[in-house]
Structure 1
Amino acid sequence: MRFVLRLLTTIAIALGVGFGLSYYALTDGRLFGAVSLGPWTAWPDIGAPAPNPYTRGHIAREAALQLGRSEGLQFIARTDSDGAALDLACSYRLDGHMPISTFWTLSAVDAEWINLAAPGTDAALRSSEIARTDDGAVRIHVGTRLRPSNWLELAGEGPFSLVLNLYDTTALSGFSSADMVMPSVTLEDCA
């Protein structure tokens, strides 16, 4: 009787751990195929001819058109640099250098990937439109309330994600990836 109880307990633990890790890999998966740099997360194998199984699960779950490896890389931030979820009731500031790329865009989306750009504005902020500091860094304000300089104007309410698309980039493709730095996402204020 004791043997059967231990066997059933072992099977239950194995199934729980197995299904739990599978669920995590398919819903979040940052430990298995994604790369996180501060609040930014990217899936570098997404455009590979034969991505790893966790990346394939992520592609199937997202069901979105993805960039090929030679086309670019997409980074997503769902939190600020302190780990708090991004919320449209607050304003944020991106500070720092963008990874090397020919061109990049920054946009904001909700949970259903609907663009949150304010009506009458561009859907994304483009690298060709940005005023930079003397050392080439960017400072971009993101939110629903007017800010000076570079501003990604948003509309709506609730949580959102920032999407940074790097086109024709060397980010995460070689030896320089270890010291790659992404812009910080800092909370400015909340309404």
Structure 2
Amino acid sequence: MNKLRAFRWPVAVLLVLAVSVLFLVLSIKQGLGNGSLTNGDWYTRESSGSADADVMVRATVAISGLLASTRENSMYYKLNAVDGEPLRLNCRYRIEGNNYDANWWSITAYGWDYFLIPNQEKRYSFNSENIIRGDDGSWVIHLSVEQADGNWLPVGPSGAAAADQSSDYDFDLSLRLYTPGDAYLKNPESAPLPVVTVESCS
């Protein structure tokens, strides 16, 4: 009987720790979608990369904003829904943009598990240097599972098992602007950003 009781205590402690860790992870992941500032469908946090960031923001950056630098050096925007509808694998999206007041920018697609999406093309992002532009400098990225012409960003299934999915969206987008201009530093909620629209859904 004493041996049984001695066995139960470690098991109970482990269960409590496991539930606590799970609750913390879910809380952090939920925080990823709660941007303090919105700009259209994009959102950002002014405190990301700041020395004033609280514990939850730092944990959020550790999960979804790897290698986030100071705000003066970079701005980070995320998007996981268009007009309130979560990004889905059964839809095709169009991202339209032009030049932005930054030394360098990139748009990257991540699976719901916050990792790069595996694909045969090994294409995970486009940036200001490798994107194909029109004569006027504008560009279009096609975001879909099925292959598309031009700037195609594949968004197939996440590397993690679908049964473990804990978000409403299938994937999300991260926009990084390095050495951004004053429009992004002073007015991130109204600065020019790419426009994402739904082309079709099956």
Could you tell me the TM-score, scaled by structure 2's length?
0.68
Deviates more, 1:68-77 or 1:153-162: 153-162
Matched residue SS, 1:58: helix
Match of 2:21 in 1: none
User: What are structure 2's unaligned runs of at least 5 residues?
Assistant: 1-26, 159-168
Q: Deviations over 1:119-147 (max 9, x none)?
A: 23233222211122344332111111122
Match of 1:103 in 2: 104
Aligned residue type for 2:185: S
CA distance in 1, matches of 2:116, 2:156: 9
Q: Deviations over 1:44-66 (max 9, x none)?
A: 22112223x4xx42222453332
Match of 1:48 in 2: 50
Matched residue SS, 1:172: helix
1:160 to 2:171 alignment? yes
Matched residue SS, 2:59: helix
- Contact 1:108–1:117, Cα closer than 8 Å, also in 2: no
Match of 2:184 in 1: 172
CA distance in 2, matches of 1:172, 1:103: 13
1:58 to 2:57 alignment? yes
The sequence identity of aligned pairs, in percent, is 24
Match of 1:71 in 2: 73
Q: 37, 40, 49: which is aligned to 1:38?
A: 40
User: Cα–Cα, structure 1 residues 50 and 178, in superposed 2: closer, same or farther, change >3 Å?
Assistant: closer
Aligned residue type for 1:166: L
Match of 1:83 in 2: 84
Could you tell me the TM-score, scaled by structure 1's length?
0.71
Deviates more, 1:65-74 or 1:86-95: 65-74
Aligned Cα root-mean-square deviation (Å) = 2.6
Q: Deviations over 1:144-165 (max 9, x none)?
A: 1122221112221771101111
CA distance in 2, matches of 1:101, 1:71: 10
How many residues were matched structurally?
160
Aligned residue type for 1:41: Y
- Contact 2:146–2:154, Cα closer than 8 Å, also in 1: yes
1:185 Cα offset (Å): 0.9
Aligned residue type for 1:88: L
